[in-house]
Amino acid sequence: AQSVTQPDIHITVSEGASLELRCNYSYGATPYLFWYVQSPGQGLQLLLKYFSGDTLVQGIKGFEAEFKRSQSSFNLRKPSVHWSDAAEYFCAVPGGADGLTFGKGTHLIIQP
């Protein structure tokens, strides 16, 4: 069964520093991959998605992610974080008719 693993439960980054959130997937075929963000009290918002083609995907809010088949990874990056980026980040793969299978999430804390 397809699954995703987000190894980091919490990440603390200083404002203005770069960010990388890790995601490893297990998927039978060429995967579709997604990153979602959940701000406090909000639902999940799609940041970016990878379907095929260019392995570097650009998303909203200045985020990007790189698909690396050899490492089964789809890590999320941002060159300079802002305090408003503090949120929960979820990596996801399709679960067939189940919609999406989500990782446990990474809680991002921004230090001033």
Residues that bind another protein (CB under 8 A): 32, 34, 36, 41-46, 49, 90, 93-105
Structure tokens at 108: 């991002």
In the complex, least distance from residue 10 CB atom to another protein, rounded to whole angstroms: 13
In the complex, least distance from residue 17 CB atom to another protein, rounded to whole angstroms: 27
E-state strands within 1-112: 3-5, 10-14, 19-21, 24-26, 33-38, 44-50, 56-58, 64-68, 73-78, 87-94, 100-102, 106-111
C-beta of 54 vs 98, nearer to another protein? 98
C-beta of 31 vs 78, nearer to another protein? 31
Radius of gyration in angstroms for the set of CA atoms belonging to the chain, rounded to a whole number:
13
C-beta of 4 vs 13, nearer to another protein? 4
